Amino acid sequence: MSLPSTILEATSRLLTPWEREAVLGDLEEIDDTGWHGVADVIGLCARRHLSIWKSWKPWLAAFGIAIPFSLLLMGLSISIAQSFQRWTSSTALSGTHLSLGPGLALLFSNLILFIAWSWTGAFVIGSISRRTVLLSVALSFMPCTFCLARFRIESLSRFCLLLFMIPAAWGLIHGVRFAYIRLRSAIFLATLITVLTIPTWSSKGAWLPNWALSWPAWYLVATAARKTQSLKRWPWQIS
């Protein structure tokens, strides 16, 4: 296989399967599989990918969720790790058995909130921008690499910064596969997140990042409500 044909084959993989088959078939039919064909396919791929950014959704996913959420959730990852470390240290020093006290209750509450925030944010990214999800993931990694290189807490591993990625990966996979969740589940999740943030409302400066991380849960409620209403109006509608 010649070099232009190899590049043409590789470049065409950026297209959807049905577009790829049609384009390669047309190029073979007119016997244009050389450099001119490569330029045509690259131009088509560029137009296809640029057209995606005409919508607000990939912009919101990449710059409204991926980057700010990764920064906020890294801070929460460290907070969760430090809280767990303090609680285990105090338990060991006191020589008592593990018991559900105020420290553990608060840690458990924050952990649930942390998982819910990570999951819902990643779910929204996957559901609204499936075709640009890799870019969103790459942008979320950029702050992580910066913070990992400058991590200076000796008592903790620097990888504590990345704790949020476990529930986030789970949410992202579900978001790519499913555009919405059931309305009851969405309402339960959004209500749980809101209730768990109530103790922080009196904390000066805490409400802004809390609500910044909480809005994707209510976005899922709105999306599920629209889908439910649509299915009631047109019950034969699929997906």
Lowest mean pLDDT among 26-30, 71-75, 223-227, 228-232: 26-30
pLDDT category, 98, cuts 50, 70, 90?
very low
Give residue 35's pLDDT. 66
- Residue 171 CA to residue 188 CA, distance in Å, equals 16
Residue with tokens 């942390």: 114
CA 111 to each of CA 78, 126, 184, 193: distance values in angstroms, whole numbers, following the listed order: 12, 23, 22, 11
How many other CB atoms sit within 10 Å of the CB of residue 179?
Answer: 15
> How many whole angstroms from its chain centre is CA 214?
14
In this prediction, residue 67 carries a pLDDT of: 93
- Segment 170-211, tens digit of pLDDT: 999 999 998 889 999 999 999 999 999 887 776 666 677 888
* 124 contact partners, CB below 8 Å, separation of at least 6: 61, 65, 175, 216, 219, 220
Confidence of residue 15 (pLDDT cuts 50, 70, 90): low
Domain extents for the chain? Answer: 3-52, 56-233
**What is the band of 168 on the pLDDT scale with cuts at 50, 70, 90?**
very high
The pLDDT of residue 204: 67
